[in-house]
Structure 1
Amino acid sequence: MTSRPWLDSYGTIPTEIDPDIHPSITALAEAAMTRYGGKTAFVSSGQRHSYTEIDAISRNFCAYLQSMGVRKGDRVGVMLPNVVAFPVAMLGIMRAGAVQVNINPLCTASELQHQLNDSGSKCIVVFGDALATLAEVVATTRVRHVIVAGRPSTGDALGWDARVPDGIEGAVGLPAALRIGSLLPRHPVQLGGDDLLFLQYAGGTTGESKGAALTHRNLVANTEQLKAFLPQATRECEEVVVTALPLSHIFGLMVSLLTNFSIGAENWLVRNPHDMNALVDTLKLARPTVFVGGNTLYAGLTQHPGLAEVDWSRLRLSGAGGAPVDAAMSARWQAITGSFIREGYGMAETSPVLSINPPSIEAFSGHTGLPLPSTDIKLLDDDGQEVPFGEPGEVSAKGPQVMRGYWQQPEANAAAFTEDGYFRTGDIGRFDKHGFLQVVGRKEDVGRPQPRCAALAPA
């Protein structure tokens, strides 16, 4: 695209970000752990964990993984809900230079088998509740090391149950792995922006899911883009976020965890968002400045009588991920919290955010906002030609947050990218005269993972 018509609507938002401001997400995270030290990083199951504590524990986990033979580029599955074991595992894996395979802890045995075999994972960190699913398929995979994070236990100082249920031979409890790792050396690994960070499997419209190969540079870029676009909700050391969207989903992982970790936020992790009573109690205690949810979650919350008892006076951003949010839902949320839901757009393949409504938008709009800094979007017809401005076409994107490609899928990559490097999302959108993007439908029979998710809703 030779011009970016949306830039006239940017106001004071920078048009470009530096995707190499940190050489890797590992460097970004280590800088945050050093900078914010004793500040609370996570609140999980009633326990607070400082940035310094997360630093030390994840170093121990890295050392343990390295002692098990995990090397740079190896794939490690993570099948955990939103508990503090998730960021500890993530940081340990990236410090070892390995690639994290994000797996929904509620996935089926066949889905798990496919993702482990397709990624070639030889190690997995799994929640105790998902062990039965893993036990069904582990013998048919390459997995040789199983690390189990159980339910929180008041008897364990780290907040994890050290017991390993029967069912998988050789499984090791996470507390035991951390104790072993604390006695071992950790070997620093040199990482760059082009090194892989995550494999994110998206559900396919046809056939099995494909793994979006996301690099360190992809995620550094998207965190910087988000901070540049929403400075009012990414204030250093001031944000308190309640994370109810699953961290196994790239939206929750990038927006709720990585971006907020980089600015020294306090993050309250919600293990089971379906338990509305517990979620509302968490919201009462946290008094969040940032909240990210999905349409179903917002629907449940707005029907809960306790939501009106939450102190919403600090809320600055409400986000929506996973599915579009309608105007009626935003109106109900705003009536209770005083904040409308700010829409955006993204997908696993784009790390995930492509566009968001900027701070100048002060009411629910029905569109998905402006493309982020350093992002080009063009709309294509069935012949791959750019449609006239204002006409609908397939949303095709280029930017530093766009994936390297699908893991070991050369034919899918050939179909997914244009000759000039734009990723074809399979979604149909149109631009209005001010450069705001509206997603209006889905291109039929694209044969690729269905990526669409509403990105940010405002608070």
Structure 2
Amino acid sequence: MSKPWLQHYPAEVAHDIVQDPKQTLTGVLNQAVTRFAKQPALEFMGKTLTYAELDRYANYVAAWLQASGLPKGSRVALMLPNGFPYMLSLLAVLRSGMVVVNVNPQYTERELEYQLQDSGAVAIFIMENFAHVLAQVPKQIQPKHVVITRLGDLMGLKGGVLNLAVRYLKRMVPAYDLPHSLYFSQVVKLGSALPCQTHQAQADDLAVLQYTGGTTGRPKGAMLSQRNLLANVLQIEEFAKPALGNVREQAYVMFAALPLYHVFALTVCGLFGLVAGMRIVLVMNPRDLSSVSKAWADCPPHIVPGVNTLFNALANTPAFQGLPFSQLRLCLAGGAALQSKVAAHWLTLTGSALIEGYGLTETSPVVAVNTADSIEFSGTIGFPLPSTDVVLINDQDQAVDWGEQGELAVKGPQVMSAYWQQDAETQKSFTTDGYFKTGDIGVMDELGRIRIVDRKKDMILVSGFNVYPNEVEEVLVSHPGVLEAAVVGVPDEQLGELIQAYVVLRDSSVSEDDLRQWCRERLTAYKRPRQYQFRTELPKSNVGKILRRVLRDELNTPTVKE
């Protein structure tokens, strides 16, 4: 199939990226920290680390990992919010020849146990605020090596004061028992006295095991190689040229308010930011709009990746509305559909358009994006990136005609090789000619722009995070008083979608509050149902399968008043 989008690329954007087959993400990152040694790399709560300092501290952590006797390819979990320890640990794990396993810090014991067991993680870096969750995981599943980070790590005297305040004044550190753990500061000190062996990565080496969900509801580890992640960084760099020019020759500021354990922020804010020598402003809690505004005021950014809900919240925050915006060069919206109302409000307020894109965990993640010089909201996800091919297919994996709806399928250097230890799921996810089937239904216009119109899978998008109904339903029906349950997504202006649960009780004394508490103990916040309906039965097919489609149709059918 032809690629009509190529003739509509901006003149300065190449149709393909040039990628040395031997080049690796780790190698390029190592070159960057040397090239930009004197420039600021990370900004967090008023403290700055240069690229030279990032390089040195990452070397210490890598040396400690190597001295721990962990072989090449060992999985190392990072259960960390945005902060110095995340970025240092990320670089250290890659530099030591090991594999990053990103873990949401808000996970419950049940969710963490599954990911640790499935990945086979032998080490974990975890912030002390969440260490009690790890302590609840069965000891035989806990990683052998546990490193505890704290808010003020590597922040000097100010950091020490912050740590005391977090633990004793705000009481934000629940008690935990992890007797063989080390503090991050201890690891840095131990590593400073150890040699760090240079690891020569290969392009096809696994770099990151990034967990996502699927139609089964069981999270799957997308195997993202050195080549995959580097390709996506180079694709983003190429497509951003109309707004950023030769990005490595500039001194841009990247605003990292999205959590780096999420693949969108990992690649765009973290890896792209480092490769290009940017100053990356780290924001730990994007829901704290006052801290977001302060970080922006202290270090006004040029590049702002975000999700619809974040842009909407900021644009409606009085403290944010008076901040400087003239320096903005590129505002990228992803993770969930961008709403036209939000795009218009942001443009009016800041003078900078929101550039919508699309991606998936399995594609490292970016697949398509509107051109970086766009000034209007298109309602589409734009054009496929350089070196990326897409096709819309029917249920028989055959290409549909232009203008017809079909499942979006993707091929390119950023597409994962497989799901971790799930051959059957991998085989189902690719066409025979190597296109990854996204599960999203789209239409391509005559320019080659893609509009997502529906989702083939039952996935629910809450604030840019994927929620898979089977996982939530499994938790609900595990309650002794619940007979059956189904969950669907309901459109919501703030969250994109919220989760509505339909429940059939076996014990009529069970209340909505009981189920909310049950889910609170077993699911991270964005996965919990916000609305409940109790029913005597749920719609089913003739073989007994619960029909979520019928429930969604009920929600979309207006009630007729007599």
TM range (shorter): over 0.9
CA contact (8 A) 1:202 1:451 kept: no
Report deviation, 1:151. 1.5
Superposed, 1:154-173 pairs within 5 Å as 156=156, 159=159, 161=163, 166-173=176-183
Report deviation, 1:233. 3.0
Superposed, 1:301-380 pairs within 5 Å as 301-380=314-393
Change (3 A) 1:154 1:173: closer
Q: Confirm whether residue 414 of structure 1 aligns to residue 424 of structure 2.
A: no
User: Residue 100 of structure 1: SS of its match in structure 2?
Assistant: strand
TM value normalised by structure 1 = 0.94
Partners in 2 of 1:54 and 1:88 — Cα distance? 6
Partners in 2 of 1:186 and 1:373 — Cα distance? 36
Q: What residue number does 1:98 align with?
A: 98
Q: What residue number does 2:283 align with?
A: 270
Change (3 A) 1:155 1:278: closer
Q: What residue number does 2:28 align with?
A: 28
Partners in 2 of 1:384 and 1:155 — Cα distance? 54
Partners in 2 of 1:82 and 1:153 — Cα distance? 12
Q: Identify which range, 401-410 or 21-30, moves more after superposition.
A: 21-30
2:226 to 216, 229, 246: 216
Q: What residue number does 2:529 align with?
A: none
Q: Give the gaps of 5 or more residues in structure 1.
A: 453-459
CA contact (8 A) 2:330 2:372 kept: no
Change (3 A) 1:290 1:451: farther
2:265 to 226, 245, 252: 252
Report deviation, 1:331. 1.0
Report deviation, 1:15. 0.6
Per-residue deviation, residues 275-310 of structure 1 (Å, max 9, x unmatched):
111111111111110111112212221121011211
Q: Identify which range, 226-235 or 58-67, moves more after superposition.
A: 226-235
Partners in 2 of 1:65 and 1:158 — Cα distance? 27
In structure 1, give the amino acid aligned to 2:225. T
1:233 to 244, 247, 262: 244
Q: Confirm whether residue 130 of structure 1 aligns to residue 119 of structure 2.
A: no
Report deviation, 1:444. 4.0
Choose between structure 1 and 2 for higher RCO, CA contacts under 8 A separated by at least 6 residues. Answer: 1
Q: Identify which range, 177-186 or 355-364, moves more after superposition.
A: 355-364
Partners in 1 of 2:154 and 2:255 — Cα distance? 22
Q: What residue number does 2:63 align with?
A: 63
Per-residue deviation, residues 129-176 of structure 1 (Å, max 9, x unmatched):
111111111514151110011121697469475999751111100010
Report deviation, 1:22. 6.6
Report deviation, 1:205. 4.2
Per-residue deviation, residues 198-219 of structure 1 (Å, max 9, x unmatched):
0111134433100000000001
Per-residue deviation, residues 346-369 of structure 1 (Å, max 9, x unmatched):
010000000011134221110001
Partners in 1 of 2:432 and 2:153 — Cα distance? 54
2:312 to 288, 293, 299: 299
User: Residue 394 of structure 1: SS of its match in structure 2?
Assistant: strand
CA contact (8 A) 1:222 1:353 kept: yes
Partners in 2 of 1:261 and 1:36 — Cα distance? 9
User: Residue 406 of structure 1: SS of its match in structure 2?
Assistant: coil
Q: What residue number does 1:53 align with?
A: 53
Q: Give the gaps of 5 or more residues in structure 2.
A: 168-172, 469-562
Q: Confirm whether residue 440 of structure 1 aligns to residue 439 of structure 2.
A: no
Q: What residue number does 1:4 align with?
A: 3
In structure 2, give the amino acid aligned to 1:173. Y
In structure 1, give the amino acid aligned to 2:228. N
CA contact (8 A) 2:47 2:155 kept: no
Change (3 A) 1:417 1:128: same
Count the aligned residue pairs.
Answer: 450
Report deviation, 1:71. 2.0
Q: Confirm whether residue 200 of structure 1 aligns to residue 210 of structure 2.
A: yes
In structure 1, give the amino acid aligned to 2:244. A
CA contact (8 A) 1:47 1:159 kept: no
Partners in 1 of 2:122 and 2:211 — Cα distance? 17
Change (3 A) 1:444 1:205: closer
Partners in 2 of 1:169 and 1:204 — Cα distance? 36
Partners in 2 of 1:280 and 1:14 — Cα distance? 36
Q: What residue number does 1:430 align with?
A: 443
1:183 to 193, 196, 219: 193
Q: What residue number does 1:455 align with?
A: none
Change (3 A) 1:200 1:81: same
Q: What residue number does 2:398 align with?
A: 385
Partners in 1 of 2:352 and 2:28 — Cα distance? 31
Q: Identify which range, 422-431 or 237-246, moves more after superposition.
A: 237-246
Q: Identify which range, 149-158 or 32-41, moves more after superposition.
A: 149-158
In structure 1, give the amino acid aligned to 2:136. E
Q: What residue number does 1:149 align with?
A: 149
CA contact (8 A) 2:32 2:277 kept: yes
In structure 2, give the amino acid aligned to 1:330. A
Q: What residue number does 1:120 align with?
A: 120
Change (3 A) 1:265 1:150: same
Q: What residue number does 1:18 align with?
A: 18
User: Residue 72 of structure 2: SS of its match in structure 1?
Assistant: coil
Partners in 2 of 1:373 and 1:409 — Cα distance? 29
Q: Identify which range, 134-143 or 38-47, moves more after superposition.
A: 134-143
Q: What residue number does 2:42 align with?
A: 42
Per-residue deviation, residues 58-86 of structure 1 (Å, max 9, x unmatched):
00000000111222111000000000111
User: Residue 139 of structure 1: SS of its match in structure 2?
Assistant: coil
Partners in 2 of 1:443 and 1:203 — Cα distance? 14
Change (3 A) 1:446 1:313: closer
User: Residue 342 of structure 1: SS of its match in structure 2?
Assistant: strand
RMSD over aligned CA atoms reads 2.1
Report deviation, 1:411. 0.3
Partners in 1 of 2:154 and 2:260 — Cα distance? 24
Per-residue deviation, residues 217-275 of structure 1 (Å, max 9, x unmatched):
00110000001101123622321111010000010010011101111111110011111
CA contact (8 A) 2:224 2:362 kept: yes
CA contact (8 A) 1:394 1:429 kept: yes
Report deviation, 1:105. 0.6
Per-residue deviation, residues 176-200 of structure 1 (Å, max 9, x unmatched):
0010001011112121110000011
